[in-house]
Amino acid sequence: MARWGMIIDLQRCIGCYSCQVACKQEHFLPPGVFWNRVLVSESGKYPSVTKIILPVLCNHCSEPACVKACPTGASEIRTDGIVRVKSDECVGCRYCVIACPYQQRTFHADGNKEYFPGQGLTELEKIGRELYPLQPCTVIKCNFCLERIDGGLAKGLKPGVDREATPACVIACPTKARYFGDFDDPTSEVSLLRREKKAAPLHPEYGTEPNVYYINR
């Protein structure tokens, strides 16, 4: 069984927000909701200022604090390492939102929120509610585009190699700063990059063992 994960090369990321937009389009996310975010800040003082760009998403931890906090079992970790929320079992208690040390979960409170309030749903919003319905009063989050992964595997495709089976954010990146694959395969691209580039997760001291790593050298 695979253990899916991602590597993000911060030296390649240009902060274009393509990953953020692609994720929002892929999942028809409502106003104000982003499963992929690009955080931008600065360090230093003029004239020696450095721009800092940090793309963040659910880390799909091997020891997820969110899963341990969920009282109903709605938050679960699959055998392939993907952490997901089963909306039919979520009671909206938001314990997982508080437990996640990376702040990568969102409580979807209003299922009727429109992008253009008072003007009705756009055609894209109508299509989204049919193709990718999000249940109100539940927690939602990045799922590594598990529909693409599962659908691709059923067709004999390889996630991280074949576009149809790879997360939308990885495909959309114009600088190829994102890599996706199986960390349990020592010969996979992500495994090789993690070793060769000494990729590291965010806040390993939290003890959650993230499966999203960053290259910063």
CATH number for the domain spanning 190: value is 3.30.70.20
Q: How confident is the model at residue 37 (pLDDT cuts 50, 70, 90)?
A: very high
Q: How confident is the model at residue 74 (pLDDT cuts 50, 70, 90)?
A: very high
Q: Which residues 6+ apart lie within 8 Å of 205 measured at CB?
A: none
Number of structural domains, the chain?
1
- Specify the pLDDT at position 82: 98
Report the amino acid identity of residue 148: R
Q: What is the mean pLDDT of residues 106-115?
A: 92
Average pLDDT, the chain: 96
What's the rounded Cα separation, in Å, for the pair 136 and 143?
A: 17
Q: In percent, how much of the chain has pLDDT > 90?
A: 94
- Specify the pLDDT at position 184: 97
- Specify the pLDDT at position 217: 79
- Specify the pLDDT at position 1: 81
Range of the domain at 167: 4-215
> Is pTM, for the whole model, over 0.75?
yes
pLDDT at 160 over 90: yes
- Specify the pLDDT at position 111: 86
Q: In percent, how much of the chain has pLDDT > 70?
A: 100
pLDDT at 141 over 90: yes
Q: Which residue has the higher pLDDT, 1 or 63?
A: 63
- Specify the pLDDT at position 159: 97
